A = this chain, B = another copy of it.
């Protein structure tokens, strides 16, 4: 045991879970926020922005990339990272759906 039973859930559920999981670490939230703040593809200095070692940051970047939340391209002898919109779009839609539901019908039982 210990492994998630992904095959028992829908593709959509697994996809959302992967995206949410990728954001489920403060370092990865910090990376996303930084990429938004500088408003550009950022080449390099993400490591300097975080209180973590270079290998650890590299690993977090890899996870965000695998989840489809950021993308990176080679730019000289550094790598250019930026936000990948399609990935974010999926989560955004999920929360929009939730908001719609909650706005339409307020159940008061709890």
List the B residue with the shortest CB-CB distance to A88.
B98
Interface size on A, residues (CB 8 A): 51
- Given that A85-B102, A88-B95 are known contacts, is A14 also in contact with B26, CB under 8 Å in the complex? yes
Copies in the complex: 2
CB of A62 within 8 A of chain B? Answer: no
Nearest 4 Cβ contacts at the A-B interface: A21-B24, A9-B26, A20-B23, A8-B51
Q: 17 A-B contacts, Cβ less than 8 Å apart? A: A4-B26, A5-B52, A8-B26, A14-B26, A16-B23, A17-B26, A17-B29, A20-B22, A21-B24, A36-B97, A41-B107, A41-B109, A72-B110, A80-B110, A83-B98, A88-B98, A92-B99
